[in-house]
Amino acid sequence: MSLCILRQGPWEAVINLTRGANCIALRHRGLGARILREPSYEEGEHPFLYGMPILFPVNRISGGRFVFEGREYRFPVNEPETGCHLHGDLHAAPFEAIEGDGRQVVCRYRADEAHPYGAFPHAFEVRITYRLEEDGLAQITEVINRSDTAMPCMLGFHTTFQIPFIEGGSVTVRADVGEEFSRGADYLPTGETPPPDPAVREIRDGSWDPLSVPLSRHLRTGESGIAELTDRRHGVRLLYENDAAWGFRLIYNGDASGFLCFEPQNCLVDAPNNVFGRACSGFVAIPPGETRIYRSRLRLVELP
């Protein structure tokens, strides 16, 4: 296992280069805060419920296939109960650190004809920059198309927070979210956008307790792209800020026993296939030689 440790003031971040350049720990030593749920790497541990694993292609692809520009894209059906491909394999791929100064690192993955990304028919590069700042962590993800055809880009991060993130704390959640997309038993969009129920209204007004009831919701990201985890007992608020390129968000807390996933996604689940159509679903293709950039930040601020 190859780890990169960043430090800046009271902050420390740990990046696992061996497994998808996953930021597996973000800690504030002064507050005793552990922001992200940290893995122990025990056998059978769920790989997506720790740190910030990258998802490419994000979430589910029905049947593991779609067609784009006359080309068929196929991924293994790794979730037999739904008949879908789930999350891709980039989260498990080794990255290399190509730049770094102790508080910042640039991590790179490259696929080409000699080293393909499964059956994905493109040469491409992903660069993830992590930078510690005075109030938290900045993350910049660049996806570069090195092939000679337009490349579908379905990207997300399964960012998983420890709840509470300071021992003895009590967390409430607010997120700027828009319409919800209903999903069926296979977790694919049904075509319905239901009116907000009590849980969504609580998420919007900031009163939702992530340890209250299990929840899994897929929503459009609001204009600000901000999610807030507030710990009034310790007088701090954790801000997760995603730029406008992250148009969708999945919120998931398992069995409500101690973690919360805020998953920024650049497209809707099953974007190339679902009933809403590709334009509504945020389906993105990167032209040859071009780059798409996605920015996020995690910040701790004191409450007034």
* pLDDT tens string 112-129: 999 999 999 999 999 999
Distance CA 136, CA 31 (A): 13
* Residues 272-285 pLDDT 10s: 999 999 999 999 99
Domain ranges (residues) in the chain: 3-302
What is the spatial distance between Cα 142 and Cα 127, in angstroms, rounded to a whole number?
Answer: 5
Would you state the pLDDT for residue 43? 66
- CATH code of the region 3-302: 2.70.98.10
User: Where are the alpha helices (H) located in 206-269, listed in sequence order?
Assistant: none
* Residue 251 DSSP SS3: strand
Structure tokens at 62: 């029905």
Nearest to 107 by CA among 127, 93, 137: 127
For the record, the structure tokens of 238 come out as 């954790």
- The Cα 182–Cα 190 span in angstroms is 6
pTM for this entry: 0.96
Rounded to whole angstroms, the Cα distance separating 69 from 8 reads 46
> Which amino acid is it at 188?
L
